[in-house]
């Protein structure tokens, strides 16, 4: 099933044409890597999908419904989650608190006083960590003390609590040590097994080839290649990115 469809999406910033008619599709359970040089338009494209920017032209459909120009909250409610490169985690709080950051479940003390339902946070957080198969010491561990890869797992577990159908990840492996990269790639494969669509923005082609079903290359705001990973090579993708083709 086609989950997300972009049809001729355009975005301008004054004189800069950041997106010049981008057309692409993502299926449920498909990992699509989005590659391209600095300034190619990758972040702009993601922010246009998530509603941070309103496209100047073209259409965006999700599960067959037009979502063009909807507000970020409405798009999120449809099931699109974005994990930003900085992860936006509270380093001094523990794993469980981070998974529910900003939307802690509340219970009423004596039926009136609102209180954060810490027990529910912990059981739910543990459920998400298990669902993902993430390797975390405990949900009580302070996030700032976790490794980069473990912090990435917390951000993914957090996204899972929204029950997303599509997860967009911006450079999830850029800051990671080699051993941790494999762990994050395994989490991405787990999302695919759960039939979640994934858009992976990455400059690291080894990671892209290790996990992506399809590779879409952007150059100067245009899709210049859209191929099955198994049908292309790293050399070919590099040539697309730098414009040698």
Ligand X SMILES: Nc1ncnc2c1ncn2[C@@H]1O[C@H](COP(=O)(O)OP(=O)(O)OP(=O)(O)O)[C@@H](O)[C@H]1O
Size of site (CB under 5 A) for Mg ion: 1
C-alpha span between 51 and 82 (Å, rounded): 11
Burial 10-24 (b: 16+ CB within 10 A, else e): bbeeeeebbbbebeb
Q: Confirm or reject binding of residue 149 to ligand X (CB under 6 A).
A: no
Binding piece for Mg ion, criterion CB under 5 A, among 40-48, 72-80, 86-94, 237-245: 40-48
Nearer to ligand X, 1 or 13 (CB): 13
Query: Residue 195 and residue 52: Cα distance in Å, rounded?
Result: 25
By a kind-dependent CB cut-off of 5 to 8 A, residue 177 interacts, out of Mg ion, ligand X, none, with: none
Check the CA dihedral 219-225-228-232 and report its sign: negative
On whether the CB atoms of residues 81 and 159 are closer than 8 A, the answer is yes
Q: Which is nearer to Mg ion, 85 or 123 (CB)?
A: 85
Give the residue with the Cβ less far from ligand X, 39 or 72: 39
Q: Which of 3, 33, 40, 121 touches ligand X by CB under 6 A?
A: 40
Minimum CB separation from ligand X for residue 9, in Å?
A: 12
Residues 6 or more apart whose CB falls under 8 angstroms from that of 126 comprise: 96, 139
Q: Is 41 in the site for ligand X (CB under 6 A)?
A: yes
Minimum gap (Å) between residue 220 Cβ and ligand X? 8
Q: What values do phi and psi take at 19, rounded to 5? A: -130, 125
Which residues are CB-neighbours of 237 under 8 A, at least 6 positions away? 35, 205, 208, 215, 217, 225
43 lines the binding site for Mg ion (CB under 5 A)? yes
- Residue 88 in contact with ligand X, rule: CB under 6 A: no
Which of 156, 154, 158 lies closest to 145 in space, CA to CA?
154
Task: Spell out where 134-196 has E strands.
Answer: 166-170
In the numeric block, which tokens belong to residue 119? 């027990």
For position 13 contacting ligand X by CB under 6 A, the verdict is yes
From the list Mg ion, ligand X, none, pick the one residue 16 interacts with, judged by a Cβ distance below 5 to 8 Å according to partner type: ligand X
CB of 49 to ligand X, least distance (A): 12
> At closest approach, how far in Å is the CB of 212 from ligand X?
17
- Measured CA distances, 74 to 65, 88, 109, 156 (Å): 13, 20, 32, 20
Considering CB distances under 5 to 8 angstroms, the limit depending on partner class, which of Mg ion, ligand X, none binds residue 216? none
# binding residues, ligand X (CB under 6 A) = 11
- Partner from ligand X, Mg ion, none binding residue 217, C-beta < 5-8 Å depending on class: none
Binding footprint of ligand X on the chain (CB under 6 A): 13, 16, 18, 36, 38-44
Binding footprint of Mg ion on the chain (CB under 5 A): 43
């Amino acid at each position: 099933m086609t989950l997300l469809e972009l049809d001729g999406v355009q975005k301008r910033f004054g004189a800069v044409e950041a997106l010049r008619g981008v057309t692409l599709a993502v299926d449920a359970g498909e990992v699509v890597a989005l590659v391209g040089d600095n300034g190619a338009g990758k972040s702009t494209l993601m922010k246009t999908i998530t509603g941070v920017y309103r496209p100047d032209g073209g259409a965006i459909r999700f599960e067959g419904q037009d979502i063009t120009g909807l507000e970020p909250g409405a798009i999120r409610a449809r099931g699109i989650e974005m994990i930003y490169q900085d992860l936006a985690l509270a380093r001094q709080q523990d794993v469980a608190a981070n998974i529910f950051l900003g939307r802690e479940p509340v219970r009423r003390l004596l039926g009136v006083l609102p209180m954060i339902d810490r027990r529910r946070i912990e059981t739910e957080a543990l459920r998400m960590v298990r669902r993902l198969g993430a390797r975390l010491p405990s949900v009580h561990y302070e996030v700032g003390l976790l490794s980069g890869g473990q912090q990435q797992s917390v951000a993914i577990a957090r996204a899972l609590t929204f029950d997303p159908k599509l997860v967009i990840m911006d450079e999830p492996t850029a800051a990671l040590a080699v051993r941790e990269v494999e762990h994050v790639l395994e989490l991405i494969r787990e999302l695919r097994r759960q039939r979640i669509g994934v858009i992976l923005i990455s400059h690291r082609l080894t990671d892209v080839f290790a996990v992506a079903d399809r590779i879409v290359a952007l150059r100067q705001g245009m899709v210049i290649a859209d191929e099955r990973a198994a049908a292309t090579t790293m050399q070919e993708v590099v040539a697309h990115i730098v414009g040698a083709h």
